[in-house]
Amino acid sequence: MTADAQRRTPAPPAGTYLGMPKFQKNAKPALANEQLRKNLRHATGTIRAKRVARVSEVPEWEELRRAGEAIKNRTLRHLDTYLVQLEESLVRAGATVHWARDAAEANRIVVGLVQAKGVDEVVKVKSMATQEIELNEALEEAGIAAWETDLAELIVQLGHDRPSHILVPAIHRNRSEVREIFLREMKRYGTAAPEDITDDPAELAGAARRHLREKFLRARVAVSGANFAIAETGTLVVVESEGNGRMCLTLPETLISVVGIEKVLPTTADLEVYLRLLPRSSTGERMNPYTSMWTGVTPGDGPQEVHVVLVDNGRTNALADPLGRPALRCIRCSACLNICPVYERVGGHAYGSVYPGPIGAVLNPQLRGISHEIDQSLPYASTLCGACFDVCPVRIPIPDMLVHLRKEVADHKKGTPRVEPTAMALAGWVLSDRRHFELAQRAAGLAARVLPHTTHLGPMPWPASPWTRARDLPMPPPESFRSWWRKNREEGR
């Protein structure tokens, strides 16, 4: 509590993402949390239905997806060229460009820029890149308060929580939980919520508006990300729904934008594809309410000091792998999270990253490597049902990439005395040749004859327990198909 008292902003939960156990373990408490599962089922179901309605209005949707895929592919192939062009355009427009190899370097740059302005707080536009590098905590350590101004990010921050979704980071909370958080926490960090506040969404939004207003008007520095960065002009683009982004991007004197290097697009014309794909895929809207675009510094209008921090943080690792590269096409729409049956039941926290769901399962092991338990488990956090690819606006082949990453993990584990490689080797021998297979079939048939009246097996000890704890297992019948075939078809011929 004393450490908490010294902080400027609400403390997030203890521990780090990379120290988290594997997905399977994290999933258990989430599955047991009835309220969480209800919240997730309701929220993902609602967004899914909206997306389908808005996408089905666009007859050329598949062509748009293919265009979105092609433009990103071309840009990634020539990323070096476009990044240099982006830097030149930004500098020409009066912005200062910084390059960061990793999270630590990016945080150091931003902290230094804020300290140079002599302020102890910043307002933030919702940004996945700053979540990824954990900028808020780096600022907090330097005595600088970073205030999240997106409604859902505010709920997460005030709730001493972590985001569980890319687009709606508080998707795991329902409105009565939000009311409790606002009532308890707002007064500790600024304008209090009214004591008689109800869980009516309009009242909750009103409380957030009043709480944030004083911060918008006071802050002299804002931090944002960017959805797109246009190489030809040096224009940055932020797509949002609440107008908090517009406030942050226009009111403060200094604007610092942290941008992943894969966000670059060659020309302004390319936006016509992505500004159609993104809102329909993410919020299920034809057009998002606020699209802000700015090009360096405009004298006498908006921030007069503009910084852009271009962050690698593992992206060139993904770029170097032809089979992993498609993950860099991601425009962070969250359609894959909303459609994913695994995400729907477990939520985002089990994925141990700010990038949960199917895209997180392919992105995190590439950005962070596969040396940690959590990143080794993520490629297996999918049934490979393929629903994510169907909804992806830039056609990222997530199921194929998961299989590719599973191979990387299996290769990494090779030679270790574990159950799985041994089981796979044994099954591999059985199925590599019909004679081995027929031998195994006779063993299965024998088992069936030992238990002639058993059609199903109920709960059994390990190694059958993962299957049989909740599901019965049918017994193999005494006669295999091929033995029937031999008797009934081959012998007569």
Partner 1 sequence: MTIRTDGLTVALFATCINDVMFPGTPRAVVELLERLGCRVEFPMEQTCCGQMFTNTGYFDAAVPNVRNYVKAFSGYEYVVGPSGSCVGAVRHQHPMLADHAKDAGLAAEVDRVVARTYDLSEFLVDVLGITDVGAYFPHRVTYHPTCHSVRVAKVGDRPYQLLSKVKGIDLVALPDADQCCGFGGTFSVKNPDVSVAMAADKARHVMATGAEYLVTGDNACLMNIGGILHRQNSGVKPIHLAEILARTEGGER
- Name the 3-class secondary structure at 124: strand
> DSSP readout, 301-337?
BS-SEEEEEEE-TTHHHHHH-TTTGGGGG-----HHH
> Is the Cβ–Cβ distance between 163 and 253 less than 8 Å?
no
> DSSP readout, 208-267?
HHHHHHHHHHH-SEEEE--SEEETTTTEEEEEESSSHHHHHHHSSSEEEEEEEGGGEES-
- Measured from the CB atom, the residue of 19 and 458 that comes closer to partner 1 is 458
> Element (H or E) spanning 290, and its range?
strand 290-295
- Judged by CB under 8 A, the residue of 387, 394, 396, 401 near partner 1 is 387
> Is the Cβ–Cβ distance between 23 and 358 less than 8 Å?
no
Shortest distance, position 395 Cβ to partner 1, whole Å? 13
Shortest distance, position 429 Cβ to partner 1, whole Å? 9
> DSSP readout, 398-440?
HHHHHHHHHHHHHHHHTTS--HHHHHHHHHHHHHTSHHHHHHH
Q: Does 482 bind partner 1 (CB under 8 A)?
A: yes
Question: Which positions from 128 to 167 touch partner 1 by CB under 8 A, shown as an x/- string?
Answer: ----------------------------------------
Parallel/antiparallel/unpaired status of strands 121-124 and 221-224: parallel
> DSSP readout, 10-31?
PPPPSS-GGGS--HHHHHHHHH
- Measured from the CB atom, the residue of 94 and 445 that comes closer to partner 1 is 445
Q: Does 181 bind partner 1 (CB under 8 A)?
A: no
> Is the Cβ–Cβ distance between 233 and 269 less than 8 Å?
no
Residues 263-282 that bind partner 1 (CB under 8 A): none
- Judged by CB under 8 A, the residue of 444, 446, 451, 460 near partner 1 is 444
Can you give the three-state secondary structure of 452-478, one letter per residue?
A: CCCCEECCCCCCCHHHHCCCCEECCCC
Shortest distance, position 466 Cβ to partner 1, whole Å? 4
- Rounded CA-CA distance 24/29 in Å is 10
Sole window of 135-143, 181-189, 263-271, 428-436 interacting with partner 1 (rule: CB under 8 A): 428-436
> Is the Cβ–Cβ distance between 369 and 317 less than 8 Å?
yes
CA angle 15, 21, 23 (to 5 degrees): 120
Q: Does 434 bind partner 1 (CB under 8 A)?
A: yes
Shortest distance, position 156 Cβ to partner 1, whole Å? 24
Sole window of 162-170, 281-289, 325-333, 468-476 interacting with partner 1 (rule: CB under 8 A): 468-476
Sole window of 1-9, 97-105, 277-285, 432-440 interacting with partner 1 (rule: CB under 8 A): 432-440
> Is the Cβ–Cβ distance between 38 and 268 less than 8 Å?
no
- Rounded CA-CA distance 91/71 in Å is 24
Q: Does 424 bind partner 1 (CB under 8 A)?
A: yes
Query: Considering CB under 8 A, how many residues would be counted as binding partner 1?
Result: 61
- Judged by CB under 8 A, the residue of 176, 200, 472, 487 near partner 1 is 472
Q: Does 342 bind partner 1 (CB under 8 A)?
A: yes
Cα R_g (the chain), whole angstroms: 26
Q: Does 369 bind partner 1 (CB under 8 A)?
A: no
- Measured from the CB atom, the residue of 67 and 402 that comes closer to partner 1 is 402
- Judged by CB under 8 A, the residue of 13, 15, 16, 28 near partner 1 is 28
- Judged by CB under 8 A, the residue of 411, 418, 446, 451 near partner 1 is 411
Sole window of 107-115, 152-160, 249-257, 409-417 interacting with partner 1 (rule: CB under 8 A): 409-417
Shortest distance, position 348 Cβ to partner 1, whole Å? 14
Percent of residues in the chain assigned helix, strand, coil, to nearest 5: 55, 10, 35
Q: How many helices and strands (H and E) does the chain possess? A: 24, 12
Q: Specify which residues 223 forms β-bridges with.
A: 124, 256
Helical pair 34-55 and 23-32, crossing angle rounded to 10 deg:
100
Q: Does 374 bind partner 1 (CB under 8 A)?
A: no
> DSSP readout, 185-207?
HHHHHSSPPPTT--S-HHHHHHH
Sole window of 162-170, 196-204, 211-219, 378-386 interacting with partner 1 (rule: CB under 8 A): 378-386
- Judged by CB under 8 A, the residue of 143, 194, 466, 487 near partner 1 is 466
- Judged by CB under 8 A, the residue of 61, 99, 290, 380 near partner 1 is 380
Q: Does 489 bind partner 1 (CB under 8 A)?
A: yes
- Judged by CB under 8 A, the residue of 346, 367, 378, 396 near partner 1 is 346
- Measured from the CB atom, the residue of 69 and 240 that comes closer to partner 1 is 69
Residues at the interface with partner 1 (CB under 8 A): 23-24, 27-28, 31, 341-342, 345-346, 379-387, 389-390, 403, 405-411, 420-421, 424-425, 427-428, 431-434, 437, 440-441, 444, 456, 458, 466-467, 469-474, 476-477, 479-482, 484-485, 489
